[in-house]
Amino acid sequence: MTRSITSVALFCGSNTGLGETYQHAARTLGTDIGRRGITLVFGGTHKGLMGIVADAVLAAGGQAHGIITQRLAGLGHLHPGLTRSEIVPTLRQRKERMATLADAFIAMPGGIGTLEEFMEAWTMNQLGELDKPAGLYDVSGYYQPFMGFVDHMIEQGFLPPAHRKGIVVSPESATLLDGLAEFERVTVPKWL
């Protein structure tokens, strides 16, 4: 069964990372999202990888829906060219709104906020609060250390092995988007 993915929430860096690799990957992902007619739901800033993905979505004829906190909007971080923008009081409300609007989640390389947002989406899926696939855009092996830690959780008896399949992981944006559409929810209970 193929899922209908009409919108995807993106978690990624508000910085660009080292070199051009992450920026190129951000443009590729944004172009793929826009060409597929998928609405980008993201943190609403023009900064870092977030801004690059949004610009690429818009350049490809797609729609970008930004949700930003009042504090960040007040600092001038709101992307001025979005299809739609929302300003919310808190980060928690921003994440809740993104989860409501999205059919799936993608994390690109980023910092602690990116990882926290992704982990919350994966956890809600694991607990059955959501049935929306979550994927890692594994640019240049960025998420391999994280997946190694996931394997360590499994080896130490804190995560059932089947739950490793609760994340779609790909170094290619098109393959990642296809994987999200083909994702089958893991139904193995989380308790060992």
Overall domain count for the chain: 1
Does 188 have pLDDT greater than 90? no
What does the pLDDT read at residue 153? Answer: 97
36 assigned to some structural domain: yes
Q: How far apart are CA 45 and CA 108, in angstroms?
A: 15
**Do 171 and 147 contact (CB within 8 A), yes or no?**
no
136 assigned to some structural domain: yes
Q: How far apart are CA 180 and CA 102, in angstroms?
A: 12
113 assigned to some structural domain: yes
Please give the distance of CA 158 from its chain centroid, rounded to a whole number: 24
Q: What confidence tier does 190 reach under pLDDT thresholds 50, 70, 90?
A: confident
Dihedral pair phi/psi, residue 104, rounded to 5°: -160, 170
Write the pLDDT tens digit of every residue in 14-45.
Answer: 999 999 999 999 999 999 999 999 999 999 99
Q: Which domain holds residue 43?
A: 7-140+165-182
149 assigned to some structural domain: no
Write the pLDDT tens digit of every residue in 149-160.
Answer: 999 999 999 999
Domain CATH number, residue 47: 3.40.50.450
| H/E stretch holding 64 | strand 64-69
132 assigned to some structural domain: yes
Q: How far apart are CA 33 and CA 56, in angstroms?
A: 9
Q: How far apart are CA 48 and CA 17, in angstroms?
A: 8
Q: How far apart are CA 121 and CA 134, in angstroms?
A: 7
Q: What confidence tier does 79 reach under pLDDT thresholds 50, 70, 90?
A: very high
